[in-house]
Structure 1
Amino acid sequence: MTVFVKRYPDESNCAAARANHTWLESLNSGVRIPRLLAAHSRHLVFEHIDGTPPDFVDLPSIAAVLGKLHSAATPALAQARLDQEFNTAGGHVIADFVSVRPTIAAIPEAATVAATACVSIYKDANLRNFLITNVEVAIVDFDDLTLAPYGYDLAKLLTSMAMTFGQLDRSIATDALDHYNGALGGTKCALDDLAVWAEINWMLTADYLGRNGYRHPWPTVRPWPAPFASDRSQP
């Protein structure tokens, strides 16, 4: 059997990734997640999934998968708050949104949206954490899991796509948002809020520019005007 082995620098990171995977599987979302075949102190063994990396054309399908996953997580997060870590019914602790992203508190636009946003999750939805198979989209990599507002994961997907491949057309971004919201079925993410979360994702990803396939700074490829007053002089 062909497998995929993910290695970790220490036991705590490995244990956290295993717990994240277990919790996501427990949601029974219907989203393709690789089966965990074996767990060791510093590496995890997953089933191998044949697939290809995504491109812009795959955005609607991936966005719908994110919406489906977030919709499945909603009941489990009914008592969660973005500014507090959350203990799940199974005892898994999910980090809060605000304290691990201090940038948010310093930006009025982001802080305002975060103060009233409904709670979902962030699983690091950069494009490299998805595989496109013949019949479905699979999500991979379970290193990171925090609370987040609806749309934050989608914003990470859009920024990572644009920073990798170049200019992101507004119509492509809004089509992805429509597919995401359509899969949510309940709470929706507004386009203005998505733009705010994309900017936060850019701030947290900017240091990787020139590495990991990120070739384009977000301010030069974003599909809408900068949502923050301090950035409106940028392209």
Structure 2
Amino acid sequence: MAAHLGDVHGAAWSTELRHASLGAPHRLNGEYAIRDFITPRRHAIEQRHRTGYLPDARRRWAAHTLLERVEDLPAAFYKDTNPRNVLVTAEGGLVTLDVDDLTLAPFGYDLAKLVVTLAMTHGRIPLAVIVNALATYNAAADAHHPGLGAVALPLFLAFAELHSILTAPYLGRGGYRNPWESVRPDTAYPLGGEL
């Protein structure tokens, strides 16, 4: 799945998203607009804060800071990659479903969603597995253009922290059995402190 995501994100950037900005909606063929990355997440962070899912002021500040830091990165897309939105064909190919939450996103963000979902559903994922998945993703993205596969582990883990905030209301539903705090990879999150 990591290779598949890196490949489709690299292809999307090469064919359409190279001129997209994560801070603004992007029009496809002058018709359909893909929502920007930052605005819906700012609103979601504040909604999580208002409803009690994000009471920690430091994590809230770090989440907003992360959005500001990634605005100028190359644009890929986010489609809510999780096991419920992926089918494996009889030939071993992958088909992704459910693009209701389609937005622009930085490279690596959608893969981070998959990691958070798998951990919150099935338990902690060893850091070595995450590092390997990220390297596989980066290699596939980089095959489309040098530098696209430059998602560093600290940034990737910061994306996972942001996903944990956005996914918090679903704990106990849809297979999310484990709180992120109990399945978070054993490592530090250097981007502005822990989210």
User: Which residue is equivalent to 1:5?
Assistant: none
Q: What is the Cα deviation at residue 112 of structure 1?
A: 4.7
Query: Residue 79 in 1 paired to residue 26 in 2?
Result: no
Q: What is the Cα deviation at residue 225 of structure 1?
A: 2.9
Alignment equivalent of 2:109, drawn from 132, 142, 152: 152
User: Which residue is equivalent to 1:194?
Assistant: 156
Q: What is the Cα deviation at residue 126 of structure 1?
A: 1.7
1:53-92 alignment to 2 at 5 Å?
62-75=1-14, 76-92=16-32
Q: Select the structure with the greater relative contact order (CA < 8 A; seq sep ≥ 6).
A: 2
> Matched residues in 2 for 1:230 and 1:68: separation?
30
User: Which residue is equivalent to 1:221?
Assistant: 183
Identity, in percent, stands at 39
1:137–1:81 CA distance, 2 compared to 1 (3 A):
same
TM-score, structure 2 as length reference = 0.80
Alignment equivalent of 1:120, drawn from 63, 72, 76: 76
> SS at the partner of 2:125?
coil
Q: What is the Cα deviation at residue 199 of structure 1?
A: 0.6
Higher share in helix: 2
Matched to 2:176, the amino acid is Y
1:88–1:224 CA distance, 2 compared to 1 (3 A):
farther
How many residue pairs were aligned? 170
> Matched residues in 1 for 2:103 and 2:175: separation?
24
Q: Is the 8 A contact 1:219 1:226 kept in 2?
A: no
User: Which residue is equivalent to 2:124?
Assistant: 167
Q: Is the 8 A contact 1:109 1:196 kept in 2?
A: no
> Matched residues in 2 for 1:100 and 1:194: separation?
19
Q: CA RMSD in A?
A: 1.9
Q: Which has the larger radius of gyration?
A: 1
Q: Is the 8 A contact 1:129 1:141 kept in 2?
A: yes
TM-score, structure 1 as length reference = 0.67
1:85–1:112 CA distance, 2 compared to 1 (3 A):
closer
